[in-house]
């Protein structure tokens, strides 16, 4: 008891998924060719254990296994139950450095939260978590940081931790002082200055520059000085940040994503975020659910996709209107006269038609160059469409790409979405 049991899965088809059942009391998904389960009472283990492994192919069919997937495991008793482990890779840092937090001997399905100086909270569920020591994350440059780690099991019960989960991390002083710890820019970029305070003769230089930040002057100096820098336009679909090191002192530059989506677009739903309802779209980022009143679709993210990643699953009743239930991606910046290719993989519990459309995001909801109907079957199939976007009434903030699924009843799986410019 207290050790980890490694399960290895070999010679299985692509797109498989599975689960392991421990003594008919706890079930855990298997989503990698090697899966580790801690042998603890939390996870349903006792002295003698029966494990049942169930695997399915990408179409949901059961994969035959030797002995029907049954495994017998004897758990040797430990003298004392092994307590959960929480380890920090360092107890003293400079601002801008990372702290690696490792966990071990925890029950499956645990959830965690890290609190820094009672100011900032960060959820985590990974066995290895990286926390940056920065002012934005609650650290102070003049005093030690108090970290409190709290964990709960899958039932919401608190997991007891050594020292109550409290850790103290010293923040080491820097011989270089900066007039500020960070600055934020919008997607257009801009220029900025950093005032450096240092004793006479103290040499320093700027390090850690990404390609999108350029030093205009003051890349090195002696004593006090000024660093002038320029931030390039953000032409990606994500916010970004970088931490510069100036003589050992940390300075963070943050930049927002563009307000519009910029092809090429690819989404394997790895974020795990379920599309928000359209009435919350002002606060949503990415896909949005637009459905007519009373349909009450259930959305979820599930592992397993034909080209890797996760699937977006829509479960609903059928409706004669294709547009009555749709997931949409609004605000796509396209080039006039260019041709684009949309690709998405889909399968349905009950075969039926789905529509891929590129149209207006506001009344009269006309087409912007694409409205193509596809027959979705029970097997994963890639659906592609090419189109030239219209210009009039379809500019960046008046368009949206839609997958319309109103006519399909039951479950519809959507995966491996992309939109690229082909010419």
| Whether residue 272 is found in the same domain as residue 346 | yes
- Last-in-domain residue among 16, 43, 74: 74
Both 272 and 129 in one domain: the answer is no
Give me the residue label for tokens 């758990």.
75
User: Do 277 and 247 share a domain, yes or no?
Assistant: no
Q: What is the pLDDT of residues 139-166, one digit of tens each?
A: 876 678 999 999 988 877 888 888 889 9
Q: Is 149 exposed, middle or buried (0-12, 13-18, 19+ CB in 10 A)?
A: buried
For residue 9, the model assigns a pLDDT of: 81
Mean pLDDT score, 308-331: 94
Residues 269, 144, single domain; the answer is: no
The answer to the question of residue 145 being in a domain is yes
Q: How far apart are CA 37 and CA 6, in angstroms?
A: 7
Q: In this structure, what CATH number is given to the domain that contains residue 157?
A: 2.60.40.10
pLDDT score for 104? 86
- Tell whether 38 and 60 lie within a shared domain: yes
Give pLDDT, residue 40: 80
Q: Residue 390 maps to which CATH number?
A: 2.60.120.260
Q: Is position 260 within any domain?
A: no
The whole-number pLDDT of residue 278 equals 82
Residue 173 has pLDDT above 70, yes or no: yes
Q: Would you say residue 184 lies in a domain?
A: yes
Residue 80 lies in a domain: no
Q: Which residue, among 312, 332, 339, 340, has the nearest Cα to 403 in the 3D structure?
A: 312
Q: What is the pLDDT of residue 15?
A: 80
* pLDDT for 133 beyond 90: no
The band of 44, judged by pLDDT with boundaries at 50, 70 and 90, is confident
Residue 19, domain member (yes or no): yes
Q: Tell me the C-alpha to C-alpha distance, in Å, between residue 248 and each of 94, 124, 192, 317, 333.
A: 8, 29, 20, 60, 40
Helices (H), 56-183: none
76-99 per-position pLDDT tens digit: 766 555 678 899 999 998 877 899
* Cβ-contact 15, 304 below 8 angstroms: yes
The total domain count for the chain is 4
Among 223, 255, 287, the domain boundary falls at 255
Which tokens sit at 165?
A: 């989960």
Q: Which residues of 172-239 form beta strands (DSSP E)?
A: 177-178, 182-185, 190-197, 203-207, 213-217, 220-222, 225-231
User: Binning pLDDT at 50, 70 and 90, where does residue 28 land?
Assistant: confident
- More confident call, 247 vs 385: 385
Top pLDDT among 356 and 17 is at: 356
* C-alpha span between 121 and 118 (Å, rounded): 8
Q: Are 181 and 274 in a shared domain?
A: no
Asked whether the whole model's pTM tops 0.85, one would answer no
Asked if 119 and 238 sit in the same domain, the reply is no
Mean pLDDT of the chain: 89
d(CA 49, CA 39): 10
User: 3-state DSSP call for residue 283?
Assistant: helix
Q: List, for residues 272-307, the tens digit of each pLDDT value.
A: 888 988 876 555 568 999 999 888 899 999 988 999
One-character DSSP codes across 300-349: EEEE--TTSSEEEEEEE---S-GGGEEEEEE-B---TT--EEEEEEEEES
Same domain? 206 vs 137: no
Domain-terminating residue out of 147, 171, 195: 171
Which domain, by its residues, includes 182?
177-255
Count CA atoms within 13 Å of residue 179 on its CB side: 10
The better pLDDT of the pair 42, 393 is held by 393
Query: Is residue 352 assigned to a domain?
Result: yes
243 or 323: which carries more pLDDT confidence? 323
In this structure, is residue 28 part of a structural domain?
A: yes
Which residues are CB-contacts of 382 (< 8 A; sequence separation ≥ 6)? 306, 343, 344, 345, 416
Mean pLDDT, rounded, for 39-66? 85
**Pair (344, 415) in one structural domain:** yes
Average confidence (pLDDT) over 248-264: 90
Whole-number Å distance between alpha carbons of 245 and 152: 37
**Which of 107-116, 133-142, 254-263 shows the lowest per-residue confidence on average (mean pLDDT)?**
133-142
Q: Is residue 79 part of a domain?
A: no
pLDDT for residue 141: 65
Look at residue 357 in the predicted model and tell me its pLDDT: 97
Both 165 and 205 in one domain: the answer is no
Angle, vertex CA 273, rays to CA 268 and CA 278, nearest 5: 110
Q: Is residue 288 domain-shared with residue 213, that is, in the same domain?
A: no
Same domain, yes or no: 330 and 384: yes
Centre a 10 Å sphere on the Cβ of residue 137 and count the other Cβ atoms it contains: 18
3-class secondary structure, 214: strand
Residues 180-212 have pLDDT tens digits of 888 999 999 999 999 999 989 999 999 989 999
């Amino acid at each position: 008891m207290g050790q980890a049991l490694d399960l290895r899965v070999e010679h299985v088809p692509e797109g498989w998924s599975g689960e392991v059942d421990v003594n008919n009391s706890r079930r855990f998904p298997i989503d990698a060719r090697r899966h580790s389960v801690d042998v603890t009472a939390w996870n349903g283990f006792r002295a003698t254990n029966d494990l049942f492994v169930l695997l399915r192919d990408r179409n949901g069919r059961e994969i035959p296994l030797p002995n029907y997937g049954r495994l017998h495991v004897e758990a040797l008793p430990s003298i004392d139950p092994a307590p959960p482990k929480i380890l920090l890779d360092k107890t003293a840092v400079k601002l801008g450095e990372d702290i690696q937090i490792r966990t071990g001997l925890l029950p499956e399905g645990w959830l965690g939260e890290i609190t820094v100086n009672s100011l900032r909270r960060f959820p985590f569920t990974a066995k290895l978590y990286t926390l940056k020591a920065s002012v934005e994350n609650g650290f102070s440059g003049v005093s030690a940081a108090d970290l409190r780690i709290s964990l709960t099991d899958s039932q919401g019960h608190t997991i007891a931790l050594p020292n109550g989960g409290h850790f103290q991390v010293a923040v080491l002083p820097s011989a270089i002082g900066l007039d500020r710890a960070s600055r934020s820019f919008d997607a257009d970029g801009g220029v900025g200055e950093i005032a450096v305070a240092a004793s006479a003769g103290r040499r320093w230089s700027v390090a850690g520059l990404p390609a999108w930040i350029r030093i205009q002057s003051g890349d090195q100096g002696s004593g006090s000085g000024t660093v002038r820098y320029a931030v390039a336009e953000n032409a990606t679909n994500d916010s970004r940040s970088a931490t510069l090191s100036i003589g050992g002192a940390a300075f963070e530059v943050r930049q927002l994503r563009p307000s519009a989506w910029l092809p090429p677009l690819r989404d394997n739903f790895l974020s795990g975020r379920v599309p928000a309802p359209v009435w919350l779209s002002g606060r949503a980022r990415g896909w949005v659910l637009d459905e007519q009143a009373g349909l009450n679709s259930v959305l979820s993210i599930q592992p397993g996709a034909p080209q890797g990643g996760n699937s977006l699953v829509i479960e609903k009743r059928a409706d004669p209107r294709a547009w009555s239930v749709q997931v949409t991606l609004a605000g796509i910046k396209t080039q006039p006269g260019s041709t684009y290719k949309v690709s998405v993989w889909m399968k349905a519990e009950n075969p039926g038609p789905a529509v891929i459309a590129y149209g207006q995001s506001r009344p009269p909801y006309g087409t912007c160059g694409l409205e193509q109907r596809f027959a979705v079957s029970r097997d994963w199939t890639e659906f592609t469409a090419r189109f030239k976007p219209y210009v009039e009434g379809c500019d960046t903030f008046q368009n949206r790409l839609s997958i319309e699924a109103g006519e399909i009843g039951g479950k519809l799986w959507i995966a491996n979405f992309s939109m690229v410019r082909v010419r």
